[in-house]
Structure 1
């Protein structure tokens, strides 16, 4: 697939990096901080089973790939997709090159081996989580327009669809993480095909992430973690308490305009409290 599309490799790498960065930033002060293993134990991979965290990562990866591919289409880095077509309006002609999110979703499904995933219940759950992830990005799609005409009139309007920054979808993805629904497999087997009853139950949860197993205790892995503040320590440190220290914070300050068009700032150094879990 990557050989047929020269620009694809870089886009996938971009998707991987933006997913990792956004996840670590979003869960920086949570007990689970986007680690792919539980309690720093390599054999406790989150992909061994379908935990809440596994469902989230499936959604996150799908969301990031769909977002990056859609953006790649708009920038002209992919030849297999095209700009949005034009359409008629009663008062103006609308045309623009936007983020092709439909192609991004279609590509993501194929890239994640959607068709090869099978028809068993676990495959259905993974598909569900992938869709929730992509839809979280799609909800950030907005129409941007620019007017053309004499004296500020809008005789012609150019419009295009644009996704928000990937970080703008993380709030919704994290909300899905906290509201994920735990389900049981029918007859506790992974091989049985999805029954009509099970499928109907899953359809009721079509807007939610689905997981199967309870997350292991994460408190072991929070030792030495830095809290956002003392209130965050109460949760992050799991009742073990915390150590208070100081840290040096550098920031831009005393900014002023110089020579018409340049901003010059000083660097201010301050000390701030640092809270570390015992």
Structure 2
């Protein structure tokens, strides 16, 4: 079984109270643990914990969604978003770019799951948005008009738009409220990356339309807004990870700035970090690195999964394995596909 499939299965089977998304002693994305630690708290977080059990269920789904996507995006890298809890805790203690991606993809996952539940009618607190969407402000905001291919006099807002505003609101209330009164650099980075993850959804809403008219004439179209797929969100955040900006605390103590004066100040949609990442080549209990020994590499690749890159130039070994697969398949009328079973040999390379 491929490592990414194993990771996804482990995440789906793991109980919430055994969540590996933790930062030292402060569990950041285990809903039940957060609520347990804030029993005497007041405000929106306390209200969610006490009264909105359906919302907590969707938040848990969002955490799993983000974790699974993280494993997919990093499956071919030295750090593969491991599900090993002790390793992840050590990694999340530091403010590396990997931590920034985890915080961003998880905030996006929580927003996505809540919004999707609203559209499906699974939450009593919300529903889909109907009618004309409210305009988005700011540069790079999401689309609020149909594509140019739709004549302006032949469409109208309708249908059931994804209620992303509710998803954004609840994600902020649950994930950010405990940190709002702090202004240390770690907290500022965490909140910034949470917001960067949410903005990928907000700024990439797409328009869907349905035709109305006799015999498919499409004399009128009803249009609504939909979220992108979560794979598209993960792809965009991976690109942000590649261009992440290293920051330091500003002199006022309430903001941050790029470490180098030659680097452009990061925008709201950028992932930021303050500590350099380990190389993840060798096991290291202090940093949480598990190393890459035994990982499969791609001898014909020039990317992050190449044997030189993944094995940190330590070398690799060749192994030939025998497998069976369907072959010489034929379609038999009607309606069956008949295949033979063939033995094949496959060469694999694993890091030393």
Compute the TM-score of the two structures, normalised by the length of structure 2.
0.67
Q: 1:97 matched to which residue of 2? A: 160
Unpaired segments of 5 or more residues in structure 1? none
Q: Secondary structure at the match of 1:128?
A: helix
Q: How many residues get paired?
A: 268
Distance 1:81 1:147 in 2: 27
CA RMSD, Structure 1 to Structure 2 (Å): 3.1
**Structure 1 residues 5, 125: CA separation in 2 closer, same or farther (over 3 Å shift)?**
same
1:1-278 correspondence runs (5 A):
1=48, 4-35=51-82, 42=87, 45-87=90-132, 90-114=153-177, 116-120=179-183, 121-186=185-250, 193-194=253-254, 204-206=265-267, 207-220=269-282, 221-231=291-301, 232-248=306-322, 254=329, 256=331, 258-259=333-334, 264=337, 266=339, 270-278=344-352
TM-fit CA distance, 1:146: 0.8
Deviations 1:80-130 (A, max 9, x none): 223222139743443111221121111111110336432413322212111
Look up the SS of the partner of 1:7 in the other structure.
helix
Please give the secondary structure, in 1, of the residue aligned with 2:187: helix
Q: CA-to-partner distance for each residue in 1:218-253, whole Å, 9 max, x for gaps? A: 100111111133431110000101111134566666
Q: CA deviation at 1:26?
A: 1.5
Q: Is the 8 A contact 1:83 1:96 kept in 2?
A: no
Q: Which has the higher contact order (CA 8 A, sep 6+)?
A: 1
CA distance in 1, matches of 2:100, 2:293: 25
Please give the TM-score of this superposition, normalised by the length of structure 1. Answer: 0.83
Residue 147 of structure 1 aligns to a residue whose secondary structure is strand
* Distance across 2 between alignment mates of 1:257 and 1:108: 52
What is the alpha-carbon distance in structure 2 between the residues aligned to residue 142 and residue 275 of structure 1?
Answer: 42
SS of 2:314's partner is coil
Displacement of 1:33 in angstroms is 0.6
SS in 2 for 1:112: helix
2:248 partner SS: coil
Distance 1:17 1:264 in 2: 37
Distance 1:93 1:209, change over 3 A: closer
Cα deviations across residues 177-235 of structure 1 (Å, max 9, x unaligned)? 11111112246xxxx7415978xx99931232111111123100111111133431110
Q: Distance in 1 between matches of 2:257 and 2:312?
A: 40
Shift of 1:36: 6.7
Q: Pick closer, same or farther for the CA change 1:250–1:174 going to 2, 3 Å.
A: farther
Give 5+ residue unaligned stretches, structure 2.
1-47, 134-151, 283-290
Distance across 2 between alignment mates of 1:44 and 1:154:
55
